[in-house]
Amino acid sequence: MRTDLIERRRRLLGPNVPTFYDEPVHIVRGEGVWLYDADGRRYLDCYNNVAHVGHCHPKVVEAIARQAGMLNTHTRYLHEGILDYGERLVAKFGHGLSQIILTCTGSEANDIALRMAQAVTGKVGIIATDNTYHGNTTAVAHLSTRRPPIGGWPAHVRRVPAPDSLVAGGCDGAVFAGHVERAVGELEAAGHGFAGLILCPVFANEGLPDVAPGFLDATVAAVRRVGGLVLCDEVQPGFGRLGSHWWGHDWLSFAPDVVSLGKPMGNGHPVAGVVARPEVMAAFREAFGYFNTFGGNPVSCAAALATLEVVEAEGLMDHAARVSAAMLGHLRGLRHPLIAGVRARGQFYAVELARDSLPAPEAAAAVVEAMRGRGILMGRIGRRQHILKLRPPLPFGMDHAAQVAEALQASLDGVPA
């Protein structure tokens, strides 16, 4: 173990800055779906969705290097970069979602999304699901439940129970809509009014619960009835990961008012953004003179454009659909008494571990550690961190799927029921 690096981190970064794994991995190189540590050991990366088209994809690296050597400046001058990319991006959207703001992080994007709802409605109340994470700015962190915010819970945020496959009726759209309607009533009664509902369309941090297309119909109708906005956080499912659709909201089949983008957008380069309908954008732009120094700079746009073009040129969305079907088959073949559910949303996989319908986080932790020992990096999600999460770069293929399934079975075999 590199105790020297751990000690340097502790000294420089302070306390409570965890690394993954009991014995942290010291990664020095990445290529495609592989990460390499300082000893030359190879890891199959089933965790990092940020390296969307594969670690260090040469087309993306080349685009960054070329543009960084040509020009990198802000958007108060005219430049084709943001326009060429932005037009390609919005062409991927329906529902009148045709205008963009580019930022550097998904947190910044969600911070804007919340304000868009507030600008349109003139009200401040926000509803989020109760086990979600939308980012780290003050306003966005207010949506999280993991720890009370500094300064206390804000009164204008209400949380509704996230869909949950372990709970009877937990994935029923009418039940969810009822929760949202109740929260709207509370916000109105408290004088905040209701601005918008924010959610991830695959409920990624909730562990991809068993919701099906149409799940959100009653909720969206309820939100529209009271003049609120639906804010869709596509930071995890977006950009073709789902295989069947470019965006999570198209898979779940609803029309959001605002979409937030992030992690995979530039294959690791810090670029993110918000897509909205023109009237929503105008309300925000007129209420607030938003400017982001680095947002939409030519290098970030070149990275994002190259990433989008690689997804298209290499057919990675269709590839995701094919591999996902095979991987789901493998996952369904896993045998262990604690497996309570197996789900795939394209190249995003969840294996829920529970004992008598109660989450089994210690088993999930043991599997993640055992997989690391077998050279496979993955993670955990869910209300209790009891759901195995696999979210590899999109080039993850059939052979990798078979390898992961075999390693998962072996790792599960070492976990007591």
Query: Footprint of a copy of itself on residues 20-59 (CB under 8 A)?
Result: 20, 24-30, 35, 48, 50-51, 55-56, 58
Q: By rule CB under 8 A, what string of x and - marks binding of each residue 373-412 to a copy of itself?
A: ----------------------------------------
Rounded distance between C-alpha atoms, residue 206 and residue 188, angstroms = 27
Residue 402: CB minimum distance to a copy of itself, A: 25
Rounded distance between C-alpha atoms, residue 317 and residue 264, angstroms = 13
Question: Closer CB to a copy of itself, residue 57 or residue 179?
Answer: 57
Taking CB under 8 A as the criterion, the residue among 33, 53, 54, 99 binding a copy of itself is: 99
Please, which of residues 243-282 interact with a copy of itself by CB under 8 A?
262-263, 267-271, 278, 281-282
Question: Closer CB to a copy of itself, residue 286 or residue 356?
Answer: 286
Is 285 an interacting residue with respect to a copy of itself (CB under 8 A)?
yes
Within 8 A by CB and 6+ apart from 301, the residues are 67, 81, 82, 84, 85, 86, 102, 271
Give the interface segment with a copy of itself, choosing from 288-296, 345-353, 380-388, 402-410 (CB under 8 A). Answer: 288-296
Question: Closer CB to a copy of itself, residue 15 or residue 416?
Answer: 15
DSSP labels, 381-411: ESTTS-EEEE---TT--HHHHHHHHHHHHHH
The three-class DSSP label of residue 182 is: helix
Rounded distance between C-alpha atoms, residue 144 and residue 383, angstroms = 12
Residue 374: CB minimum distance to a copy of itself, A: 17
Please, which of residues 167-186 interact with a copy of itself by CB under 8 A?
none
Question: Closer CB to a copy of itself, residue 169 or residue 278?
Answer: 278
Give the ranges where 133-258 is alpha helix by DSSP (H). 138-141, 173-189, 217-225, 248-252
Taking CB under 8 A as the criterion, the residue among 33, 44, 54, 86 binding a copy of itself is: 86
* Distance set, CA 55 to CA 51, 246, 269, 349 (Å): 5, 20, 11, 20
Residue 242: CB minimum distance to a copy of itself, A: 20
Taking CB under 8 A as the criterion, the residue among 33, 46, 97, 104 binding a copy of itself is: 104
Give the interface segment with a copy of itself, choosing from 148-156, 253-261, 325-333, 348-356 (CB under 8 A). Answer: 148-156
Q: Are strands 229-233 and 258-261 parallel, antiparallel or unpaired?
A: parallel
Question: Closer CB to a copy of itself, residue 156 or residue 343?
Answer: 156
The three-class DSSP label of residue 312 is: helix
DSSP labels, 7-19: HHHHHHH-SS-PP
Within 8 A by CB and 6+ apart from 304, the residues are 85, 89, 265, 266, 269, 271
Taking CB under 8 A as the criterion, the residue among 137, 253, 385, 403 binding a copy of itself is: 137
Residue 144: CB minimum distance to a copy of itself, A: 9
Residue in 306, 333, 314 with CA at minimum distance from that of residue 412? 333
Taking CB under 8 A as the criterion, the residue among 40, 146, 399, 416 binding a copy of itself is: 146
Rounded distance between C-alpha atoms, residue 129 and residue 208, angstroms = 13
Is 17 an interacting residue with respect to a copy of itself (CB under 8 A)?
yes
Rounded distance between C-alpha atoms, residue 67 and residue 166, angstroms = 49
Taking CB under 8 A as the criterion, the residue among 167, 255, 287, 334 binding a copy of itself is: 287
Is 132 an interacting residue with respect to a copy of itself (CB under 8 A)?
no
Is 365 an interacting residue with respect to a copy of itself (CB under 8 A)?
no
Please, which of residues 326-355 interact with a copy of itself by CB under 8 A?
none
Is 139 an interacting residue with respect to a copy of itself (CB under 8 A)?
yes
Residue in 205, 234, 201, 244 with CA at minimum distance from that of residue 219? 201
| Residues facing 99 on adjacent strands | 276
